[in-house]
Amino acid sequence: MQRTARIPIEARTERAAFVDRDAPEIAEEQEAYCDWGDVWEVAKAEWFFGVGTKLGDLSKGAERYYPAASIHSNLFCDFSPEPFRESVYWKSFKATLGSRLEAHDSPVVELVFPTSVISFTTEEAFKALAGQWYRETRKLSSADQIVLHPAYQMIIGMGREALPFIFRELKKTRGHWIWALAMITREDPAQAGMKFKEAVDSWLKWGEDNGFI
Amino acid sequence: MSAQEIESDFPKLVADGWTETSKESAEYNCFAFALHDDSDWYSPLPLKGYYWPDNLPRNTALPTMIELYRNEGGFSPCDDGDFENGFEKVAFFINEKQNVTHAARQKPSGAWTSKLGVMEDIEHPLLTSLEDAGIKDDDYGKVGQFLKRPIPAS
């Protein structure tokens, strides 16, 4: 079973419509978005957010997302558009779509939430996001781009729950996790002038001292 | 990192040829490597562990990167990447946002050497092997600037 929330980005209404795709007759709420016109009708793109599979043409201004395994489940348990817009997830969606959406007068995003998402653990979500992040940033030399990747931002959005998994990954790969750690913990155990290798060592010691490793 | 993954990220290397010259490492990036530094990750990101000179703007726009290489390595802009005896050259790749995304260094043989993100260092005969449209977030773009410096007499 899936729940669908349709959200206009430039909101003409703040209400969201939840539709059970397998049983639309029991929709919790129906909201008519007559202003969408054909923008909604041409939505054909499907993107398995977090899993990294992108299908179809994303140029139409209306997108369909299947958050699948990588979305932190708590986000959707009590879903409403307003807090979602303030969340890092929403910023990630917007950053991903970028100018394609800005080009439309009434762009919309359709979010499709499989019910099974709720049962995914933080560890499973972390693994999916970390894998996507590595695949899509491994060739980059700009640390800014590396840490602004939507999957990395979503891991930061998981908060302290993600720390044991981040430290495990840092110990294994010695990759660019120190920004996420600094953002989540609001700490920085590294010293000024340290090289990246030394900063990683400082973070690993901090992780041990604080029981995350 | 497997050769398959490198060739997947840079498909033109398959036909153009390349050689792996190091193990993968997240401890330094191409901007450091082009300056013969394999212990720093050059980045304007404001976090301890990343290296960026205090006197430079925190961005990777071309003027900033030219100044970075002038200060750190004595490089100056030049017209092309043709091999010149007595000089070492660097090529900057620039994406459509006009940010420098990658630096490759010319070796005494005339071939180029690059550190590919957190992956390995490679030697590649052609700069164009790493070029792409420069549109996607992980694209390198095209070579847009060459720099050179005299090689000190040893």
pLDDT confidence of residue A121: 64
For residue B5, which residues of chain A lie inside 8 Å, CB to CB? 138
pLDDT confidence of residue A6: 38
Instruction: State yes or no: pLDDT of B20 exceeds 60.
Output: yes
pLDDT confidence of residue A45: 23
Query: What are the tens digits of pLDDT across the range B86-114?
Result: 999 999 999 999 999 999 999 999 999 99
What stretch of H or E contains B146? Answer: strand B142-150
Q: ipTM of the assembly?
A: 0.93
**B38/A contact by beta carbon, under 8 A:** no
Instruction: State yes or no: pLDDT of B21 exceeds 60.
Output: yes
**Where are the domains positioned within chain B?**
3-150
Instruction: State yes or no: pLDDT of B115 exceeds 60.
Output: yes
Distance, in Å, from the CA atom of B154 to the CA atom of B149, rounded to the nearest integer, reads 15
Across the interface, whether the CB atoms of B48 and A194 are under 8 A apart is answered yes
**A34/B contact by beta carbon, under 8 A:** no
A40 class by beta-carbon count within 10 Å (0-12 exposed, 13-18 middle, 19+ buried) = middle
Q: Could you name the CATH architecture of B3-150?
A: Alpha-Beta Complex (3.90)
Helix, strand, or coil (residue B110): coil
Instruction: State yes or no: pLDDT of A82 exceeds 70.
Output: no
Whole-number mean pLDDT of chain A?
Answer: 59
A100 class by beta-carbon count within 10 Å (0-12 exposed, 13-18 middle, 19+ buried) = middle
**B96/A contact by beta carbon, under 8 A:** no
Across the interface, whether the CB atoms of A141 and B10 are under 8 A apart is answered no
- DSSP 3-state percent helix, strand, coil across chain B (nearest 5): 20, 25, 55
**B101/A contact by beta carbon, under 8 A:** yes
> Do residues A35 and A105 make contact, with C-beta atoms less than 8 angstroms apart?
no
**A186/B contact by beta carbon, under 8 A:** no
Distance, in Å, from the CA atom of A71 to the CA atom of A44, rounded to the nearest integer, reads 22
Across the interface, whether the CB atoms of B45 and A192 are under 8 A apart is answered no
pLDDT confidence of residue B154: 62
Query: What are the tens digits of pLDDT across the range B46-86?
Result: 999 999 999 999 999 999 999 999 999 999 999 999 999 99
* Chain B nearest CA to A136, separation (Å): 7
* Chain A nearest CA to B31, separation (Å): 8
Q: What is the mean pLDDT of residues A140-166?
A: 91
**B49/A contact by beta carbon, under 8 A:** yes
* Chain B nearest CA to A197, separation (Å): 6
